[in-house]
Amino acid sequence: MSGTICRTVLLIEGNAQEAASIREMLHPLGSHTFELAHVETVSEAMTHLTEHVVDVILLDLGSGGVVGQETLRQVRQAAPRVSIVLLFSLAAEPMARQAMRDGAQDYLIKGEMQSQELVRALENAIERKAIEESLFEEKERAQVTLDSIGDAVISADVEGRITFLNLVAERLTGWPAPEASGLKMDEVFRIEDATTRVTIPNPMNQAVALNRVGHLPTNCVLIRRDGHEIFIEDSAAPIHNRIGGITGSVIVFRDVSTARALAEETIHASQHDFLTGLPNRLLLNDRLGQAIALAKRRATSVAVLFMDLDGFKHINDSLGHLVGDKLLQSIAKRLTALIRTPDTVSRQGGDEFVVLLQEIGTSEDAAIVAKRIIQAVSQVHSIGEHELYVTASIGVSLYPQDGLDAEALMKNADTAMYRAKDLGRQCFKFFKPAMNIRAVERQKMEEELRQALVTKQFELYYQPRVDVLTGSVVGAEALLRWTHPERGPVAAIKFIPVAEDSGLILPIGSWVLREACGQAKAWLDQGLAAIPMSINVSGIQLQDATFLYEVLAMLEETKLAPGLLELELTESVLMHLPEYAQSALRYLRDLGVTVSIDDFGTGYSSLSCLKRLPIDSLKIDQSFLQQMNGSPDSAAIAIAIIRMGKSLNLRVVAEGVESVEDVVFLQEHECDEAQGFYFSHPMPADQFADLLRKRTLYCAPAEEKYTHTMRALSKTAS
């Protein structure tokens, strides 16, 4: 028996004679060895099947009928994995075909069959069953595989009717496979463009029509059965039969909503400012480029408004970054509320914002927006317990006249913004080509200032401060003078801002401090009156951590008594002084150094702030006296400042006193001191020494009221 496989046949045959004849047909047979077991009834067969392995069942159903059908069902149930060959009588042939559909592998008609035929039928039946089993297993395996992958799979026949959905596909479409099966693909797999909402043709139909793998366009959403939308990505392929004919198609797709949201978030983050949520430099550049292209085609204009906050650094330094950040957010909100939809507000970083106005008619349109922005920004910002005021300076450039590309427009708007700052802030300026020349000049001046320090082109002039009642000199203000070797004298208001911007004010300020303290000490040593020396200190100097030590070192070096040194700080600098600078000032005051507020009335100091500050005197800005003739308001403000200063126990000094009327006015309103061209222009040190030596009185002491003084004054003036 070696080399042959022994097959076991279970014959279910009620007729013993027929059973014997079948046994005969199967034995003896060379290589095809069948081992035959015979039972007479189905129930015997069932018992047999529980105890033995059987390869094929040979079942006699006689003439078939309902009983036959039921018998077959029972046998199949008892041995679902065993192939069954039926025996029928001749008359039962139609019944036999039905039995094949019910699960039998083959049938034979009794009386007509030969031994070989029987053997072949049994062998074929065994083989067919084995193939069926393995196909089933394969299908099972495929189903399990498809259900366990993360992608959705749907297949359809060549007409586009659904034949299969895996679990993921069921979940994503919302259709259970049994319900979807047989439906047209478009009913179950509805896809649209997320933006245009246009229905997208089914890629499976295309795969079949074009006989190649196809893909969905990007930005595609699947509309689930319940209406919910899911972003998907896919590929669809035709399915071929053995000879290459198309029998259907399969689509594999996946939910990319999360990945897409993440990608969108990343893109958003890379194009927006994290603090304000506004478009950043990158996105603005992009939009500006588009706006220019559009304006070129339509022959319209584009405006770039470059905005920088005035004094933001002080707020940030004095109140902290948290408050500064909130202020920037508040400003972002106001700017956004001001513009139309196609326009863009962006934050460039720090306290710089850029507004892009698309398709404007005339430059006047840009001017209107710029004015509105300045107005909106200047309104109070309530940040926590702080009521903050801040102003903005804006530079405007226009396409095409100020530049043909984004870079030129941005650069020129920036230049115009600096011009607006130079012109006193809280205003806007349109770009002019001359401004570029100014920018170059500024750069040049910076280098020249550096040179000036090295080659000693600086000098200090001194202007007397006069007691309004006695007319005597009670102080000197040191004022910096720069004489350029070619251009001659340069005004302080021209070069001091450049020195501040470039940081050169630090070494220059040190020079002034040493020079002025040294001079004051020299006058003392010459036996002249001991009067305090006032020095102008820039905010940048004060914020420098070494300032305190520098002053101490100079006092030490020059041996000047601290009581003879006075520091002049502008109002805006004092208002926004960081805590450490305030304590430095307090320390110096404790030593005897005095502090005064310069240019008072031009900033926005609050009374409570004034009370807290370590100051001794205030200097009324010269603009008030200068405008007094034309404007009663200025006189009223000057009077109010004098009274306020007095009530705060501060000495009040009037600056820019140019006429006798000014002096009379100051005497009448009991201002303490005055300074101005009426008394003396600033002068070199030796001239000032003469003045002290001669104990010059600028006016006779006012003994009674001002009528008396008037007389005295007109005498000196003549």
Note whether 536 binds Mg ion by CB under 5 A.
yes
For ligand C2E, the binding residues in 501-520 under the rule CB under 6 A are: 512
Residue the block writes with tokens 């000490």: 521
Choose among 447, 394, 444: nearest CA to 419.
394
Provide DSSP, 147-180: HHSSSEEEEEETTSBEEEE-HHHHHHH---HHHH
Note whether 166 binds ligand C2E by CB under 6 A.
no
Query: Which are the contacts of 508, defined by CB distance < 8 A and separation ≥ 6?
Result: 449, 453, 458, 480, 499
Cβ atoms < 10 Å from Cβ of 183: 15
Enter the tokens of residue 262.
Answer: 């993440």
Please report how close the Cβ of residue 667 comes to ligand C2E at its closest, in angstroms.
17
Choose among 196, 187, 177: nearest CA to 223.
187
Question: Do 624 and 590 form a contact (C-beta atoms < 8 A)?
Answer: no
Which member of 26, 374, 479, 613 binds ligand C2E (CB under 6 A)?
Answer: 479
Note whether 276 binds ligand C2E by CB under 6 A.
no
Indicate the DSSP class of residue 562.
G
Write the interaction track for ligand C2E spanning residues 634-663; mark x where CB under 6 A is met and - where it is not: ---------------------xxxx-----
Question: Which residue stretch of 280-288, 429-437, 449-457, 486-494 sits at the interface with ligand C2E (rule: CB under 6 A)?
Answer: 486-494
Q: Which does 493 bind (CB under 5 to 8 A by kind): Mg ion, ligand C2E, none?
A: ligand C2E
Query: Which are the contacts of 220, defined by CB distance < 8 A and separation ≥ 6?
Result: 191, 192, 193, 194, 200, 231, 232, 233, 234
Note whether 202 binds Mg ion by CB under 5 A.
no
Q: Which does 677 bind (CB under 5 to 8 A by kind): ligand C2E, Mg ion, none?
A: ligand C2E
Q: Nearer Cβ to Mg ion, position 536 or 538?
A: 536
Distances from the Cα of 206 to the Cα of 158, 210, 211, 236, 270, angstroms: 11, 6, 8, 9, 38
Of all residues in the shown chain, the one whose CB is closest to ligand C2E is 676
Q: List alpha helices for 272-404, DSSP H.
A: 281-298, 312-319, 321-338, 363-378
Strand partners, 310: 391
Say how many residues touch Mg ion, by CB under 5 A: 5
Question: Do 516 and 481 form a contact (C-beta atoms < 8 A)?
Answer: no
Q: Nearer Cβ to Mg ion, position 79 or 585?
A: 585
- Say which amino acid occupies 666: L
Q: Nearer Cβ to Mg ion, position 310 or 568?
A: 568
Q: Nearer Cβ to Mg ion, position 222 or 573?
A: 573
Q: Nearer Cβ to ligand C2E, position 19 or 625?
A: 625
Please report how close the Cβ of residue 402 comes to ligand C2E at its closest, in angstroms.
32
Enter the tokens of residue 511.
Answer: 């020079």
Which member of 538, 558, 596, 667 binds ligand C2E (CB under 6 A)?
Answer: 538
Write the interaction track for ligand C2E spanning residues 599-618; mark x where CB under 6 A is met and - where it is not: x-------------------
Note whether 496 binds ligand C2E by CB under 6 A.
yes
Q: Which does 682 bind (CB under 5 to 8 A by kind): Mg ion, ligand C2E, none?
A: ligand C2E
Choose among 636, 628, 571: nearest CA to 601.
571
Largest CA distance in the chain: 165
Q: Are strands 565-570 and 594-600 parallel, antiparallel or unpaired?
A: parallel
Q: Which does 491 bind (CB under 5 to 8 A by kind): Mg ion, ligand C2E, none?
A: ligand C2E
Q: How far apart are CA 461 and CA 377, in angstroms?
A: 40
Write the interaction track for Mg ion spanning residues 564-593; mark x where CB under 5 A is met and - where it is not: ----x-------------------------
Question: Do 525 and 485 form a contact (C-beta atoms < 8 A)?
Answer: no
Write the interaction track for Mg ion spanning residues 28-47; mark x where CB under 5 A is met and - where it is not: --------------------
Peptide bond just before 201 cis, omega within 30 deg: no
Which member of 64, 311, 471, 682 binds ligand C2E (CB under 6 A)?
Answer: 682
Please report how close the Cβ of residue 431 comes to ligand C2E at its closest, in angstroms.
28
Q: Which does 512 bind (CB under 5 to 8 A by kind): ligand C2E, Mg ion, none?
A: ligand C2E
Question: Do 509 and 537 form a contact (C-beta atoms < 8 A)?
Answer: yes
Note whether 488 binds ligand C2E by CB under 6 A.
no
395 φ, ψ (degrees, to nearest 5): -115, 140
Note whether 566 binds ligand C2E by CB under 6 A.
no
For ligand C2E, the binding residues in 401-440 under the rule CB under 6 A are: none
Say how many residues touch ligand C2E, by CB under 6 A: 23
Please report how close the Cβ of residue 305 comes to ligand C2E at its closest, in angstroms.
30
Which member of 339, 353, 676, 698 binds ligand C2E (CB under 6 A)?
Answer: 676
Which member of 510, 622, 667, 709 binds ligand C2E (CB under 6 A)?
Answer: 622
Q: List alpha helices for 103-151, DSSP H.
A: 115-148
Burial class (CB in 10 A: 0-12, 13-18, 19+), 505: buried
361 φ, ψ (degrees, to nearest 5): -80, -70
Q: Nearer Cβ to ligand C2E, position 252 or 652?
A: 652
Quickly count helices (H) and strands (E) in the chain.
28, 27
Where does residue 711 fall: left (phi above 0), alpha (psi -120 to 50 degrees), or beta otherwise?
alpha
Residue 519, SS3?
helix
Please report how close the Cβ of residue 617 comes to ligand C2E at its closest, in angstroms.
13
Question: Which residue stretch of 109-117, 481-489, 595-603, 667-675 sits at the interface with Mg ion (rule: CB under 5 A)?
Answer: 595-603
Question: Which residue stretch of 180-188, 381-389, 655-663, 697-705 sits at the interface with Mg ion (rule: CB under 5 A)?
Answer: 655-663
Note whether 273 binds ligand C2E by CB under 6 A.
no
Binding site for ligand C2E (CB under 6 A): 463, 479-480, 491-493, 496, 512, 536-538, 568, 598-599, 622, 655-658, 675-677, 682
- Chain residues binding Mg ion by CB under 5 A are 536, 568, 598-599, 655
